Amino acid sequence: MTGGDRFDDRGFGDDRFGQEPRLDRLEPAEPDGADEPRGDDTDRPVVADPGAPAWSAEPPDPGDAPFEREETRRAVEAVLVAATEPVEPRFLAELVELPVEAIEELCASLADEYEQDQRGFVLGRVAGGYRLQTHPDLVAYVEHFILEGQHVRLSSPALETLAIVAYKQPISRAQISAIRGVNVETTIQTLVQRGYVSEIARDPGPGLAVLYGTTTVFLERIGLDSLQDLPPLGDFVPDSSIVEALERGLRISDDVTPEPTEPVDG
The domain segmentation of the chain, as residue ranges, is: 66-139, 156-236
**Residue 231: what pLDDT?**
87
Residue 235, pLDDT score: 75
9-39: string of b/e by CB count within 10 Å (b at 16+)? eeeeeeeeeeeeeeeeeeeeeeeeeeeeeee
pLDDT at 46: 46
Q: Does domain 156-236 have CATH number 3.40.50.410?
A: no
Rounded to two decimals, the pTM is 0.44
Q: What is the mean pLDDT of each run of 10 residues along the chain (266 residues)?
A: 49 49 51 51 49 43 62 93 91 93 94 93 92 91 72 82 93 92 91 92 88 92 88 77 75 57 49
pLDDT of the residue at 259 = 55
The pLDDT, as a whole number, for residue 42 is 47
> Given this chain, do its domains 66-139 and 156-236 carry the same CATH topology?
yes
The pLDDT, as a whole number, for residue 109 is 93
Rounded Cα–Cα distance for residues 67 and 61 (Å): 8
Assigned CATH class of 66-139: mainly alpha
**pLDDT on residue 103:** 94
Q: How far apart are CA 200 and CA 196, in angstroms?
A: 12
